[in-house]
Amino acid sequence: MTTAAHVVELRDVHKQFEEKNVLNGVSLVVNPLDRFVIMGQSGSGKSTILRLILGILPLEAGQIFFKQFEITRLNPRKLQQIRRHIGMVHQYSALLSSLTVCENVALPLEELTDKSNAEIKEIVESKLELVGMNDACNQLPSELSGGMRKRVSLARALVMDPELILFDEPTAGLDPVISSVIDELIISLAEKHKVSSVIVTHEMESAFRIGTRMAMLYQGKIIAQGKPEEIKKSRDPVVAQFLSGSTQGPILEGTPDAIPA
Ligand SMILES: Nc1ncnc2c1ncn2[C@@H]1O[C@H](COP(=O)(O)OP(=O)(O)OP(=O)(O)O)[C@@H](O)[C@H]1O
Ligand SMILES: [Mg+2]
């Protein structure tokens, strides 16, 4: 086992659901402190990539590494240990509706550690403070706005002091101002706590605000990968169409959504 420079690496990953090839040879490298953005159309397999990194889905072929650990080869006990170092912010926040904000945030600590109640309370309070939600401790998720739920979900992802955080559409469904606030929060937390992150999004403004490196997923493959300025300059017609949001170009060709030129 060698010491790895990357935090996450996917090598030639293939993933099928029934007959459908969702990932068809995906390779990418996330380096330490990267805020690595994965862009792509709805249904292109972005959430699938995050689930594969977490080791909660099997794959057909290829390899996935978290640091020096090959996720796809770990036994369940080891995988469970590794997962403690990875925080996840789900696409729809995924807070438990019957638990208060504080109970939701405390959950990973209660399930995965033997910390005392006093220690847990202290950690929960400090993480809620980081995301500006310390006044909401006793509220239920249903009493919060979408942006507030995202913050709580972010606090929950931070309680185990992860080395890597996976964000699935962190700003989906939020208004533009709150989206910017969440983006800034992601950036400042990542910088302050020296965590690496993978952010899945199809919102271009967010992608370019947050990303230090980015990749574009299309038809099961990464068709462009690099720094934001490199992606912006890409001559690939699919990348260009995605960035501009144009209805003209290869993305809709041959689909029922295509608009005649
Ligand atoms: N558990 C599953 N069983 C069967 N098919 C699945 C499963 N999970 C995902 N898929 C299919 O795989 C494809 C990719 O799904 P995925 O959720 O990764 O897309 P996405 O890029 O995250 O989309 P969105 O932007 O809408 O969230 C879709 O066609 C989806 O229907
Ligand atoms: Mg998704």
Query: 97-142: per-residue pLDDT in tens?
Result: 999 999 999 999 998 899 999 999 999 999 999 888 989 999 999 9
Instruction: Please report which helix (H) or strand (E) contains residue 66, including its range.
Output: strand 61-66
* pLDDT for residue 246: 78
| Residue 16's pLDDT band (cuts 50, 70, 90) | very high
Classify 30 as helix, strand or coil: strand
Rounded Cα distance between 183 and 205, Å, is 10
Check pLDDT > 70 for residue 6: yes
131 lines ligand 1 (CB under 6 A): no
Q: Which atom of ligand 1 is nearest to the CA of 44?
A: 21
Span from the CA of 46 to the centroid of ligand 1 (angstroms): 8
What's the predicted TM-score (pTM) here?
Answer: 0.91
How does the average pLDDT of the chain come out, rounded?
Answer: 90
Residue matched to tokens 């169409």: 241
Q: Whose CA is nearest to atom 18 of ligand 1?
A: 45
215 lines ligand 1 (CB under 6 A): no
| Residue 67's pLDDT band (cuts 50, 70, 90) | very high
Helices (H) and strands (E) in the chain, counts: 9, 10
92 lines ligand 1 (CB under 6 A): no
Contact 123, 115 (CB under 8 A): yes
**10 Å Cβ neighbour count for 76?**
8
Give the ranges where the chain is alpha helix by DSSP (H): 46-53, 76-83, 101-112, 117-130, 146-158, 176-192, 204-210, 228-232, 237-244
Percent of the chain past pLDDT 70, that is, above it, reads 95
Instruction: Report the CATH fold assignment for 31-60+74-251.
Output: Rossmann fold (3.40.50)
Nearest ligand, measured from the Cα of 43: 1
Nearest to 30 by CA among 209, 218, 200: 200
